[in-house]
Chain A
Amino acid sequence: MANSFSETTHHYKTDHLKNDPLEELREPLSRALDLNEHDFNSLSPEVKNLLSGRRRLGTNWLDDYEVVAEVISDNGCHCGVKIGQKAVFDMRHRLKTELSDIVCCMNLLSPVLAVFYMTFDRASEGLNPVTRVWTNYECVKTQDVLAQNKARVRVYLRDSKTHETVTNAVLDNS
C-alpha cells in the first residue's frame, strides 16, 4: 500500500515541521486560499517547508523582494526582445507589468519558472532566494543557427522598495 504524502519526504530523514502546526498562518492562509480545517491539516511537508520561508527571511519576504530577468542577448530574436529589457516578477512568480518593459515572449520567459522552484526551497533554508548557479536562461527556440543566436536573460534578486540588487548569500534574519 502506498504511503500517504505526509509519510514520504524523500530528501530528509526527519520532517522538521511535523509537529509544527504553523498556527500563525492557519487563519490568514485558510481565508485567502479557501482552505478548510482538513485542507490545512493535510498540507504536505513540502508545502509546510515552503510556507516556513517567512520564519527565516521575515514575514513579508514575499513582498520585500523582486526577481528581475534582464535581457542580455537578443541575436536572432524576431519577437522584439531587446538587450536591456526587463521582466520583473514578485516572489509569487507573478509578472509585475507596471515595472516590466520586456516583450513578453513566452519562449524566453517560460524557462525562468525554474528560478521560482528554487526560491521557496532556498528561503526555507534562510538563503538568498535566487540561486547563484542557475542565473542565465534562454529562449527555447533553437532557431536556424543551431542555438548560437538566441535571446537570453540574466536573473537576479532586488529589493522591491529600493530596487537595489541583493547579492548576500544568506538573508536569514531569524
Chain B
Amino acid sequence: MALDFNVGKKSIEIVAKVAHARHCANFIKKDEIFVFDLEGRLLPSKSTANLCLGMLARIQPALMIAKERFEAGLDPLPVTVPYLDCFDTGIDFGGMGKVTVELSLRDVS
C-alpha cells in the first residue's frame, strides 16, 4: 500500500521491525517492533520489543532524516538506510548480541 505523504505528520508512523536478533541480552526477538512518530518520539504503547536504548539510539538519526525528508515532501525513509543495527558489536567482535531492524512506514489508521 502506498502512503500519501501529503497527509499530516500525525498520520504516519515509522516502524522498526526486528529483522534479525542473535544472543540479545535484552531478549529482543525477530518480528518485534519499535514504533515512532515523525517527530522522533518513541511510542511505547505501540511497540512490542523491549525498549533497549542500545537499539533505539541507533535509530534516532534515521528519525531526524525522516522528518527532514517528510518536510520536503519526499518519502520519509531514504532508500540508502533500510536496516540499522544496535550498538552492541556482537559476540564475534568483543560484544555479546546483535539486533538488526528494518525501517518502514505505516498509516496510523
Please give the residue numbers on chain A whose beta carbons come within 8 Å of chain B beta carbons, in ascending order: 5, 32-35, 39, 42-44, 46-47, 50, 78-80, 89, 92-95, 97, 103-107, 109-113, 116, 140-141
A93 to B63 CA separation, bound complex (whole angstroms): 20
Which residues of B (49-66) have their CB < 8 Å from a CB of A? 50-54, 56-57, 59-60, 63-64
**Quick one: CB contact mask for B80-101 with A, threshold 8 Å, 1 for yes?**
0000000100010111110000
Which among A46, A47, A92, A106 is the interface contact of B40 at CB below 8 angstroms? A106
Collect the chain B residues with CB atoms within 8 Å of residue A106's CB: 36, 40-42, 56-57, 59-60, 63
Chain B contact patch, size range: 20 to 34
Collect the chain A residues with CB atoms within 8 Å of residue B45's CB: 97
CB-CB nearest in chain A for B63: A106
CB distance from B14 to the nearest CB of A (A): 10
Collect the chain B residues with CB atoms within 8 Å of residue A95's CB: 42, 44, 51, 53, 56
Which among A32, A103, A107 is the interface contact of B60 at CB below 8 angstroms? A107
Say whether A104 contacts B43, CB under 8 Å.
Answer: yes
Say whether B95 contacts A113, CB under 8 Å.
Answer: no
Collect the chain A residues with CB atoms within 8 Å of residue B57's CB: 106, 109-111, 113
A110 to B44 CA separation, bound complex (whole angstroms): 15
Collect the chain B residues with CB atoms within 8 Å of residue A44's CB: 94-95
Which among A39, A43, A46, A92 is the interface contact of B25 at CB below 8 angstroms? A92
Which residues of B (17-55) have their CB < 8 Å from a CB of A? 22-27, 36, 39-45, 50-54
Say whether A93 contacts B54, CB under 8 Å.
Answer: yes
CB-CB nearest in chain A for B47: A97
CB-CB nearest in chain B for A51: B96
CB-CB nearest in chain A for B51: A95
Select the residue from B27, B40, B63 with max chain A CB neighbours within 10 A: B40
Collect the chain B residues with CB atoms within 8 Å of residue A32's CB: 25, 27
Say whether A93 contacts B43, CB under 8 Å.
Answer: no
Collect the chain A residues with CB atoms within 8 Å of residue B97's CB: 33
Which among B22, B39, B53 is the interface contact of A79 at CB below 8 angstroms? B39
Which among A35, A50, A89, A97 is the interface contact of B53 at CB below 8 angstroms? A89
A122 to B96 CA separation, bound complex (whole angstroms): 18
Say whether A97 contacts B51, CB under 8 Å.
Answer: yes
CB-CB nearest in chain B for A46: B94
Select the residue from A32, A94, A105 with max chain B CB neighbours within 10 A: A94
Collect the chain B residues with CB atoms within 8 Å of residue A5's CB: 93-94
Say whether A34 contacts B54, CB under 8 Å.
Answer: no
Collect the chain B residues with CB atoms within 8 Å of residue A113's CB: 53-54, 57, 87
Say whether A104 contacts B26, CB under 8 Å.
Answer: no
